[in-house]
Amino acid sequence: MPQLMQDWFIEAMDSTGSAVGFRVRKKLEDVTTPFQHIEIYETTDFGNLMVIDGCIMLTGRENFFYHEMLTHPVLCTHPEIRQVAIIGGGDCGTLREVLKHPGVKSVTQVDIDEMVTRLSEKYFPELCESNQDPRATLLFEDGLEWIENQPENSLDLLIIDSTDPVGVAEGLFEHPFYKMCFRALKPGGVLVQQSESPLLHTALIADMQEKLKAVGFRSTDWLHFPQSCYPSGWWSTTVARKGGQLKLPYPPETINLKTRFYNREIHQAALAKPAFWRN
């Protein structure tokens, strides 16, 4: 359960016997929407902090690890990606990274809670600097309903930038949702989804891959990266391709992106699996 201890915000996780905390100066916002409880804090060392339903979502200092690794490994190795959709991602950091790729023609972001975006525009403006890009469309509706209504074979890339698999996001980790995603993707299309900690949630990552294959995705993989504000400080994304083998070769040296973490060497390291991983 989250708690404020003197000048600290602490997210304690009983299930893992661990906690993540940040020293804070003050609370900037406290908003309850029809979907969730959102808090914004000013920290002493990590910029602003967003908390949803007691769980740390992002900080201004190190969110780039997550946003870059959720997007660039696939976009740099699949140059034919033109039509992209993001389910979740209301802070707009993932949208910003996708739009760094000139080959992308359109990006539709679908988040159920508009307040996440409005608070991000106010407290994390650097994440929202591409919101007015003419290629971007921001929708505030249920991602499950949206993907169900998409034409078959209409998307090249589907990014699931969700919170943990509880509450409003629980359905984004289940068979019916994956089946709808598979239908909406073009042959050769790719799904990328945040998939929690490789240390704490190995069973979840394996379960996601089994479910993705069960609905028709031929091949899957996962990548890992540091993320200090999330449980264990180590996070992952799971990737699946519709038809054909999933390949994530090192991107060509000619790719020139303005990034803070992602590069060719990081791409290579993220594909390496820890010795304890069970395929």
Catalytic residues: 161
Question: Measured in Å, how far apart are the chain's first and last C-alpha atoms?
Answer: 33
What is the number of other CB atoms lying within 10 angstroms of the CB of residue 101? Answer: 18
**Nearest-angstrom CA–CA distance, 238 and 262:** 17
Contact (CB, 8 A) for 158 and 182:
no
